[in-house]
Structure 1
Amino acid sequence: MTAIQGSLSIGELSARTGVPTSTLRYYDELGLVRPAARDAGRRRYAESAVRDVGLILCFREIGFSLAEIESFVAGERESRQELIDRKLAELAERQHRIEVARSALEHGRRCPASEPMACTRFWSIIEDRLSGLSLEESHERAH
C-alpha cells in the first residue's frame, strides 16, 4: 500500500483524537468526517480531519446530538444561531430540573422524619407526582 502524501490512516486519526476507529467509521457513514481518499480500499484522512473530530468532540461535550452537529456544520450563520439559541434554552431547562432535584434530595438528607421512606411529606410528594403535578409543584405543595 502506498500512503497518500500528508494523509492520515484511520488508526492515525484515532490515535491523534482519542476516538475509536469504529466511531470514526460511524462519523464517515453520517457524513461528519469523510476520508479525503482511499488507498487500496483504506480510508485516508486529510490533516484537517483532526480539527473536524475535535469540533465533534467539543459539541458532544456541550450536549449537541450528532444530527445537531451535522446541521451546525452544514448550516448558514442564521441557522447556526438558531441551534445555539435552542441549545441554550435546553440547557437552561436541564439546569432548572437539576436544581429542583437537588432541592428535593437536600430535603431528604435533612428530613425531620430522619428516614425519607417514613416521611409523610415524601409520600405526599409521590402522590402529587402521580396525580400529574411536576416534582417542583409537588415539593412546593408539601412545604
Structure 2
Amino acid sequence: MSEHTPASLSIGELSERTGVPTSALRYYDELGLVRPTARASGRRRYAESAVRDVSVIVFFREIGFSLAEIGRFMAGEQPGRQELIEHKLAELAEQQHRIEVARSALEHGRRCPAGDPVRCSRFWSIIDERRRGLSLAESHTRAH
C-alpha cells in the first residue's frame, strides 16, 4: 500500500505541473504560501489544489506583486485585497511614468543636436537639477 493518497502530489510532480522549480516551492512553503497537506517519509505531499495555488502565485509575480504582497493577498479578506490592488495600480502608474521619462531622455540622447549626450547642455542641466534634489521628471521638464 502506498504511503500517500492517490490525489496527493510530490514536490516533483507539483513542480512539473506548474513549471516552478522545487527550490521555489520549498521557499513558498517556508513563507506559508503553499503548504503541503502531509509528509510521507519526510517528503512533502501536496493536495491537487496546490497546482491552482502555485498558478496564482506565478500570475501575481508576473504582474508585479512581491511574495510578501501575494501572501497578504491570499490571506486577506476582500477589502484588504482591494487595497492591495489599488496600491499596486498606483505603484505601476509611477513605474510607467518613470519609464516614459527615461524613454524620453534616451530618445533625446539618441538624436541630440550636440551629437554626444555628454556634450549636451540639457543633459548637464538635468544632472544639476537632480543633484539639487529635483526628481528626474521635474529635472527633465525644466530642461525642456
User: Map of 1:1-143 to 2, 5 A cutoff?
Assistant: 2-143=3-144
5+ long unaligned stretches in structure 2: none
Runs of 4+ in 1 over 2 A off after TM superposition: 1-4
5+ long unaligned stretches in structure 1: none
Equivalent residue of 2:39, what SS? strand
Count matched residues. Answer: 143
Encode CA deviations 1:101-131: one digit per residue, 9 max, x unaligned.
1111111111010111111211111111111
In structure 2, give the amino acid aligned to 1:107.
H
Separation in 1 of the partners of 2:67 and 2:78?
A: 18
**Do 1:4 and 1:39's aligned partners in 2 also have CA atoms closer than 8 Å?**
no
Separation in 1 of the partners of 2:90 and 2:135?
A: 19
In structure 2, give the amino acid aligned to 1:142.
A
Normalised by the length of structure 2, the TM-score is 0.95
